[in-house]
Amino acid sequence: MRATKTASHVAAAKSIVHNQGANRSLASSLRSLNGSSSSSIIFTHSSCSNHTHCGIRNHSTVSSFTAATRKEEDLYETLGVPRTASADEIKRQYYKLAMQYHPDRNKGDKKAEEKLQKINAAYTVLKDEDKRRQYDQFGSAAFDGSGGGGFEGFDPNDIPVDMRDIFEGIFSGFGGGGGRRAKTKGDDVEVPLRINFHEAVNGCEKDISYMGKLPCPTCHGSGAAAGSKAKKCPRCNGQGIEQIAHGFIPIATQCRQCGGEGTIISDPCGTCKGQGIISGNRKIQVKIPAGVDDGANIRLVGQGDAGMKGGKPGNLFLRVHVSPDKVFKRDGVNVHTDIPVTLAQAVLGGTVKVPTLSGAEVEIKVPPGTQPEEKRVLRNQGVSAVGQPGTKGHHYIHFKVEIPTKLTPKQKELMEEWQKEEEQSGGIADKLKGYFKS
* Average pLDDT rounded to a whole number, residues 348-364: 95
On whether both 195 and 280 belong to a single domain, the answer is: yes
Last residue of a domain, one of 104, 121, 141: 141
338/389 same-domain check: yes
Are 333 and 205 found together in one domain? no
H, E, C per residue of the chain = CHHHHHHHHHHHHHHHHCCCCHHHHHHHHHHHCCCCCCCEEEEEHHHCCCHHHHCCCCCCCEEEEECCCCCCCCHHHHHCCCCCCCHHHHHHHHHHHHHHCCCCCCCCCHHHHHHHHHHHHHHHHHCCHHHHHHHHHHHHHHHCCCCCHHHCCCCHHHCCCCHHHHHHHHCHHHCHHHHCCCCECCCCEEEEEEECHHHHHHCEEEEEEEEEEEECCCCCCCCECCCCCCEECCCCCCCCEEEEEECCEEEEEECCCCCCCCEECCCECCCCCCCCEEEEEEEEEEEECCCCCCCCEEEECCCCCCCECCCCCCCEEEEEEECCCCCCEEECCEEEEEEEEEHHHHHHCEEEEEECCCCCEEEEEECCCCCCCCEEEECCCCCECCCCCCCECCEEEEEEEECCCCCCHHHHHHHHHHHHHHHHCCCHHHHHHHHHHC
How many domains would you assign to the chain? Answer: 4
Most confident of 105-114, 124-133, 277-286: 277-286
> Does residue 368 surpass a pLDDT of 90?
yes
| Claim to verify: residue 203 and residue 79 sit in the same structural domain | no
Q: Are residues 192 and 282 in the same domain?
A: yes
Mean per-residue pLDDT over the chain, rounded: 75
Contact in structure between 242 and 255 (CB atoms under 8 Å)? yes
pLDDT given for residue 433 in this prediction: 52
User: For residue 368, what is the domain's CATH number?
Assistant: 2.60.260.20
Whether residue 197 is found in the same domain as residue 318? yes
With 60 as the cut, is the pLDDT of residue 74 above it? Answer: yes
Q: Is the pLDDT of residue 62 over 80?
A: no
Give the whole-angstrom CA distance, residue 401 versus residue 341. Answer: 5
Compute the average pLDDT of residues 55-79: 50
165 in a structural domain: no
Asked whether residue 57 is domain-assigned, the answer is no
Specify whether the CB–CB gap between 12 and 32 falls below 8 A.
no
- Residue 166, pLDDT above cutoff 50: no
The domain spanning residue 127 has which CATH number? Answer: 1.10.287.110
192 & 284 share domain: yes
Name the nearest CA neighbour of 127 among 168, 173, 160: 160
Q: 388 lies in a domain?
A: yes
CA-based end-to-end distance of the chain: 115
364 within a domain of the structure (yes/no): yes
Residue 116 lies in a domain: yes
256 domain-assigned: no
Residue 320 has pLDDT above 90, yes or no: yes
Question: Which is nearest to 319 in space by CA: 282, 294, 338, 287?
Answer: 294
Q: Who wins on pLDDT, 49 or 433? A: 433
Q: How far apart are CA 121 and CA 329, in angstroms?
A: 68
Provide the pLDDT for residue 104: 73
Same domain, 294 and 373: no
Residues 316, 381, single domain; the answer is no
Over residues 165-192, mean pLDDT? 59
**200: containing domain:** 186-215+276-323
Q: Residues 342, 366: one domain?
A: yes
Whether residue 211 has pLDDT greater than 70: yes
pLDDT in the model for residue 48 = 41
Give me the pLDDT at residue 77, please.
92
Distances (CA, A) of 230 to 168, 258, 264, 284: 23, 11, 5, 33
Average of per-residue pLDDT across 238-246: 78
Report the pLDDT averaged over residues 32-43: 33
* Residue finishing a domain among 259, 288, 323: 323
Q: Are residues 289 and 202 in the same domain?
A: yes
Over residues 220-228, mean pLDDT: 86
Q: What are φ and ψ of residue 125, in 5° steps?
A: -80, -50
Alpha carbon separation from 55 to 50, 62, 120, 130 (Å, rounded):
9, 13, 20, 19
Tell me if 156 sits within 8 A of 117, measured CB to CB: yes
190 and 313 in a single domain? The answer is: yes
Looking at 114-118, 119-123, 167-171, 412-416, which range is the least confident one? 167-171
How much is the pTM?
0.51
